[in-house]
Amino acid sequence: MPGEMKIDFEKIEKYMAKLRPKTVLLQLPEGLKRKAGAISDEVRRRFRCEVLISGDSCYGSCDIPSVSIDLVDAIIQAGHWEMPTVKTSKPILFLPVNIQMDLRKLIKSAMRLISPPVGLLTTSQHVQQIKEAKALLEKEGVKVMIGKGSRRAPAPGLILGCDYSNAREVSDEVASFLLLGGGRFHAIGLRLSTGKPVIIIDPERSKAVVEDIDIEAFERRRFLVIMEISKAKSIGILVSSKPGQNRMSLARRLLSAVREGDRDGHIVVLDEVTPDSLLNLGFDAYVSTACPRIALDDAEKYHAPIGTPAELMVALSKLKWEHYRIDEWGIDPTCKVS
């Protein structure tokens, strides 16, 4: 049975009492959008404010709107963990959505799959159960390692699609990783960042599964993108105007690298990067400095090749292919931790 979901309104009670906003913007990830009306009613009832529901995408704590923010006094984003590095002109409150799993059963199903010592990781919806999971694993005689967190992913063991620092911190000391929460993208990122096997405890599947990641196939696809970028005469460097995804300084360094290679390069600023938004721009290729998933998950939807900063550097012969790695917020395109 899938895990039980609980929305922890009490977590933002004191902040709302202090802010006393007249109007708030409610941001919800895709999995919660069908509950938008009910959640909006509860926020309005509890905090006596007008609630505007954001109909735009909300893929993570970094996905803060840059346009509708001017219409409200505060933002409430549900379902994601607070990201301290994200600064906005209006207060933003992160409303925890906890999905409670029957860890006793799930840990038992994981025992035949994991290779100890194990690195324990979690997505934002399961942070509250990481201590319980560690205790259950240790009861089974498994040595468990948990990363302490970073500025972008501040909770112990928490991983984001753009930050695997909690995994890298313990990678040399573990033989495999156990991830509380589903998500193939996270498994691919983990495998690329650490090279270690990844086992997922997914509440939707009600069991632990090994994510069979064909890294060679993934790398072949990305190498083809790099080859297409290397042939491009004009390259658009994409920058998101969203506060949590804006990497303008990186974009300017990439632009310099493009122009040094005698290519036509320009920075393109967008609120959200979509296939339609690029359709009429006319560049031969694009490089996204926004969420890594744009280039890696949705590449086939775009009419022109779209790559990551590191892939651009490989295409320009400024980075060797063997040093290629998944795009992360805290790692620059030369693959040095910043």
- CATH number of residue 38's parent domain: 3.40.50.11840
Q: 266-290, pLDDT tens digit by residue?
A: 999 998 889 999 999 999 999 999 9
- CATH number of residue 265's parent domain: 3.40.50.11860
Last residue of a domain, one of 71, 97, 123: 97
Rg (CA), the chain: 21
The answer, yes or no, to whether residue 337 has pLDDT greater than 60, is no
**Phi first, then psi: what are they for 301, rounded to 5°?**
-85, -15
Question: Considering the entire predicted model, what is its pTM?
Answer: 0.84
Is 317 a domain residue? Answer: yes
Indicate whether 80 and 177 sit together in one domain: no
pLDDT confidence of residue 198: 92
The token duo for 99 is: 């999905």
pLDDT band at 335 (very low <50, low <70, confident <90, very high): very low
pLDDT confidence of residue 216: 86
Rounded CA gap, 84 and 241, in Å? 18
CB atoms within 10 A of CB 59: 15
Q: What number of helices (H) and strands (E) belong to the chain? A: 11, 15
Rounded CA gap, 265 and 229, in Å? 12
pLDDT confidence of residue 336: 46
More confident: 150 or 159:
159
Indicate whether 112 and 205 sit together in one domain: yes
In sequence order, the 6+-apart residues with CB closer than 8 A to the CB of 33 are: none
CA angle 50, 54, 59 (to 5 degrees): 135
Domain count within the chain:
3
pLDDT band at 259 (very low <50, low <70, confident <90, very high): very high
Pairing of strands 207-210, 198-202: antiparallel
Indicate whether 87 and 131 sit together in one domain: no
Strand-pair partners of 23: 50
Indicate whether 92 and 117 sit together in one domain: no
Indicate whether 111 and 203 sit together in one domain: yes
Rounded CA gap, 183 and 199, in Å? 11
Q: Which domain holds residue 290?
A: 215-323
Is 131 a domain residue? Answer: yes
